[in-house]
Every structure is written in C-alpha cells, then in structure tokens.
C-alpha cells in the first residue's frame, strides 16, 4: 500500500442519510484516527439527529418514522489497524520544542487534600511540555479544528 503525501484540505460533499441529503464541508487531514469520519454538530443539527456514542448510532426522524444509522466497531478497528501498521511519513518529523512561558497557569480543585494537590502539581510540572496554550504551540493542527463557531439554525429566532 503506497502512502499518500502529507496533506491538509477541505472539501464540500453531499452526505445522504436515507432520504435526507446535506452538503457538508469535510476537513481532510493525514493522521491516525480510530474514526472513519467525525460528523460535527453542523451535520447533526442539519439532520435534526440524536447521536449516541455508547450505542455507536445516530437516530433521526423522517416523515414516515425514525431511522437509525449504526456504526461498525469492527470496521473502524480494521481501518485503524491498517493505518497503524502502514505508518505515516509525518511520523519522522521531529517534535516541536516547547517554549518556557511562566505566565501560564491552570486551576485545580481547592477541595483536594494537600498530598493530592502536591502530587498533581508535580505531574503537571513534569508534563508542562505537553500543554498547548496557543494555536502557535500546535503547528500541525489546522485552525478550523482549533476554532469554534456557534451553530445556530438560520430559521430560528433569538429568545429574549
């Protein structure tokens, strides 16, 4: 199996779930993922669907009743296994060096016992290079992934 060169991009594709067809913008990335696709809230809201991660399914209503779309854990596992075994060209890139930024902080619960607090503080300090404080700390993450936009149905009116 020949590997694709590293790429980022997006594409607008029609997604049909039985009688409903919606044009959905997909962000395409080259990276390992246990998912075949991640359908974000835009699609879920457009379909007026109810997702269930536990049941690996999405339900939505149509004129004649209800439709359930089921995921396949076996198929997802097989796709992930193939991707892991084949590897990626980007795996050879050196990791980004962390920069020392002393002005960043995080909150921990004030209800922790002193020993728990100190243990957590040690773990956080030892792993400070793992944290990303800004998008520039994550150069391989596309800005559209790190951004959030409020999903409001165009036909709905604001509540006062």
What digits encode the pLDDT tens for the residues 17-35? 767 788 888 777 766 666 6
> What is the rounded CA–CA span in Å between residue 111 and residue 101?
27
The pLDDT of residue 115 is 92
Domain regions of the chain by residue span: 1-94
- pLDDT grade, residue 1 (50/70/90)? very low
CA angle, corner 141, sides to 146 and 89, nearest 5? Answer: 160
Each residue's pLDDT tens digit, 38-49: 777 777 887 788
> What is the rounded CA–CA span in Å between residue 50 and residue 6?
34
Residue pair 19/37 in contact (Cβ under 8 Å)? The answer is: no
> What is the rounded CA–CA span in Å between residue 57 and residue 14?
20
φ/ψ of residue 29, rounded to 5: -135, 155
- pLDDT grade, residue 64 (50/70/90)? confident
Mean pLDDT of the chain: 73
The pLDDT of residue 4 is 46
**Residue 117 reports pLDDT greater than 70:** yes
């Amino acid at each position: 199996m020949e590997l694709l060169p590293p790429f980022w991009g997006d594409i607008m594709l029609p997604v049909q779930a039985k009688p409903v067809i919606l044009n959905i913008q997909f962000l395409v990335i080259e990276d390992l993922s246990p998912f075949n696709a991640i359908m974000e809230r835009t699609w879920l809201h457009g379909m007026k669907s109810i997702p269930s991660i536990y049941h690996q399914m999405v339900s939505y209503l149509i004129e004649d009743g209800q439709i359930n779309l089921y995921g396949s854990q076996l198929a997802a596992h097989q796709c992930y296994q193939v991707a892991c075994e084949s590897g990626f060209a980007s795996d050879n890139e050196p990791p980004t060096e962390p920069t020392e930024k002393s002005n960043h902080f995080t909150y921990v619960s004030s209800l922790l016992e002193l020993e728990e607090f100190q243990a957590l503080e040690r773990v956080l300090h030892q792993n400070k290079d793992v944290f990303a404080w800004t998008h520039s700390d994550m150069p391989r993450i596309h800005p559209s992934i790190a951004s959030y936009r409020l999903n409001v149905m165009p036909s709905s009116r604001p509540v006062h």
